[in-house]
């Protein structure tokens, strides 16, 4: 297996939640020489400085200041999202029914619910704990199979074949945690936190949590010649990984004239409207401070910088499904393994236009990478990305691209091993000034 594919699989497996993805990204950035800034600190930096900042544990922005001031060199931005559709615990999740202990869950984003059935699931996220008069938020990962949403036996639903599977998320998606003597979730959390070395005095120390289910099966490579990646959360950790890797690589070399920026947002799957999401102030705040923190700032620096800037929004794209090819626009059939997809929507569900697509196309040609094109059928609604949302927030011209995949939003998704390296190469060329 190529090293980059192996590294992507490791990144996904270490990132069961957006918070873990951000923590893993932070580790990798620190190893590449980036230092963390607090949003409450005064920012002050010069040419070549490598910094990153985290908002609300689920969003991260990293930048390498250019060799000229941001006002004179502008930004080259890469963006993706850290969240994926999943099932999340309700605040009082303990449910007892018919001798079982279950956990009440809420669906997050556009979950393909049936794909969560009969998987060996675990639980991860973050917990707020009271410690010596202070509230502290810590990451937690149970990292073992402990939950399952069992299918109903076909003998008890004979007409399943004709009627199809209809799941009510309230009634049919409640995972089984154990038999009725299973301790309540707060007790399990306190025990697990102690096992992770976090001092928790009692159940009352567990104040609150953001906990989500994930599949415990490791990511892997499948296909007769290893053509495919089989993994959870490829949408959009594959793009997050590609951007991170391209940024780490380009920062090994000299700084460019422009300032390199990578931004990873939480909450894309639920519309991005949150304090840390793409519709919030995160990117505008970071860009403003990169400009004003550069040697005390320059007159009209932010607007000058934005006018010189460009952004690539990277999110996974729909490959043509061999069993449902009629769902795709004729002449626009992206295939797994055949390179990055440029996404277009005249109604601005994607931010791409002739100018930004032209630049990305030229970039791919210079890196000897073939491109593909996606546009929705006119009688099907189009998905969206952080692209148009961030573009509207900061007024930067943007292109929407991504690698092709199948099973999008499934508990276990599918993409191409051959697509991993070319995307990283193209994003690397963009950060070098191509
Ligand atoms: Zn996505």
Mean pLDDT, to the nearest integer, of 6-15? 98
Quote the ligand 1 centre to 412 CA distance (angstroms).
14
The residue among 126, 84, 127, 81 whose CA lies nearest residue 108 is 84
Quote the ligand 1 centre to 111 CA distance (angstroms).
12
Quote the ligand 1 centre to 82 CA distance (angstroms).
9
Predicted confidence band of residue 2 (pLDDT cuts 50, 70, 90): confident
Q: What is the pLDDT of residues 345-366, one digit of tens each?
A: 999 999 999 999 999 999 999 9
Q: What is the pLDDT of residues 361-402, one digit of tens each?
A: 999 999 999 999 999 999 999 989 999 999 999 999 999 999
Quote the ligand 1 centre to 316 CA distance (angstroms).
6
Domains of the chain: 3-84+232-432 (3.40.630.10), 86-215 (2.30.250.10)
Quote the ligand 1 centre to 160 CA distance (angstroms).
31
Partner residues linked to 53 by β-bridges: 37, 61
Q: What is the pLDDT of residues 209-265, one digit of tens each?
A: 999 999 999 999 999 999 999 999 999 999 999 999 999 999 998 999 999 999 999
User: With left for phi above 0 and alpha for psi between -120 and 50, is residue 296 left, alpha or beta?
Assistant: left
Predicted confidence band of residue 417 (pLDDT cuts 50, 70, 90): very high
Quote the ligand 1 centre to 25 CA distance (angstroms).
18
* pTM for this entry: 0.97
Quote the ligand 1 centre to 62 CA distance (angstroms).
20
Quote the ligand 1 centre to 315 CA distance (angstroms).
5
Quote the ligand 1 centre to 385 CA distance (angstroms).
6
Quote the ligand 1 centre to 419 CA distance (angstroms).
17
Q: Please, what sign has the CA dihedral across residues 237, 242, 247, 249?
A: positive
Q: What rounded mean pLDDT belongs to the chain?
A: 96
Q: What is the pLDDT of residues 62-89, one digit of tens each?
A: 999 999 999 999 999 999 999 999 999 9
Quote the ligand 1 centre to 93 CA distance (angstroms).
28
> Mapping DSSP to helix (H, G, I), strand (E, B) and coil, where does residue 88 land?
strand
Partner residues linked to 343 by β-bridges: 374
Biggest alpha carbon–alpha carbon distance for the chain: 74
Quote the ligand 1 centre to 60 CA distance (angstroms).
16
| Ramachandran angles phi, psi of 179, nearest 5° | -90, 175
Give the 3-state secondary structure percentages of the chain, helix then strand then coil, rounded to 5.
Answer: 30, 30, 40
Predicted confidence band of residue 133 (pLDDT cuts 50, 70, 90): confident
Side-chain-side CA neighbours of 278 within 13 Å: the count stands at 27
> Mapping DSSP to helix (H, G, I), strand (E, B) and coil, where does residue 26 land?
helix
pLDDT of residue 52: 98
Query: Has residue 429 got a pLDDT over 90?
Result: yes
Quote the ligand 1 centre to 79 CA distance (angstroms).
11
């Amino acid at each position: 297996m190529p090293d980059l594919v192996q590294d992507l699989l490791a990144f996904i497996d270490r990132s069961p939640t957006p918070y873990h993805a951000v923590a893993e990204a932070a580790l990798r950035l620190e190893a590449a020489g980036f230092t963390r800034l607090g949003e409450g600190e005064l920012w002050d930096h010069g040419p070549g400085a490598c910094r990153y900042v985290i908002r609300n544990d689920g969003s991260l922005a990293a930048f390498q200041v250019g060799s000229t001031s941001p006002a004179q060199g502008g930004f080259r931005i890469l963006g993706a999202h850290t969240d994926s559709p999943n099932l999340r615990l309700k605040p009082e999740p303990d449910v007892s029914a018919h001798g079982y202990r279950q956990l009440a869950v809420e669906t997050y984003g556009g979950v393909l619910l049936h794909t969560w059935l009969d998987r060996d699931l675990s639980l991860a996220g973050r917990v707020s704990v009271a410690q010596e008069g202070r509230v502290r938020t810590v990451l937690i990962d149970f990292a073992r199979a402990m939950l399952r949403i069992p299918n109903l036996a076909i003998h008890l639903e004979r007409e399943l074949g004709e009627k199809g599977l209809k799941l009510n998320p309230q009634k049919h998606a409640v995972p089984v945690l154990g038999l009725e003597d299973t301790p309540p979730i707060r007790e399990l959390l306190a025990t697990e936190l102690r096992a992770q070395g976090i001092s928790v005095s009692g159940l009352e120390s567990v104040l609150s949590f953001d906990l989500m289910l994930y599949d415990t099966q490791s990511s892997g490579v499948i296909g007769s010649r290893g053509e495919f990646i089989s993994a959870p959360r490829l949408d959009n950790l594959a793009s997050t990984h590609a951007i991170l890797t391209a940024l780490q690589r380009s920062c090994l070399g000299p700084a460019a004239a422009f300032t390199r920026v990578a931004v990873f947002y939480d909450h894309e799957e639920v519309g991005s409207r949150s304090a840390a999401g793409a519709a919030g102030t995160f990117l505008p705040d970071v860009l403003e401070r990169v400009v004003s923190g550069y040697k005390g700032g320059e007159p009209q620096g932010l607007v000058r910088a934005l006018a010189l800037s460009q952004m690539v929004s990277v999110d996974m794209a729909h490959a043509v499904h061999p069993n449902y090819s009629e769902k795709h626009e004729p002449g626009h059939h992206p295939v797994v393994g055949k390179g990055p997809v440029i996404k277009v929507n005249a109604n601005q569900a994607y931010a791409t236009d002739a100018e930004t697509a032209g630049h990305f196309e030229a970039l791919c040609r210079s890196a000897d990478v073939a491109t593909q094109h996606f546009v929705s059928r006119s009688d099907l609604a189009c998905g969206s990305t952080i692209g148009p949302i961030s573009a509207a927030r900061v007024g930067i011209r943007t292109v929407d691209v991504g690698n092709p995949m199948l099973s999008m939003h499934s508990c276990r998704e599918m993409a191409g091993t051959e697509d991993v390296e070319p995307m990283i190469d193209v994003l690397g060329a963009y950060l070098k000034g191509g």
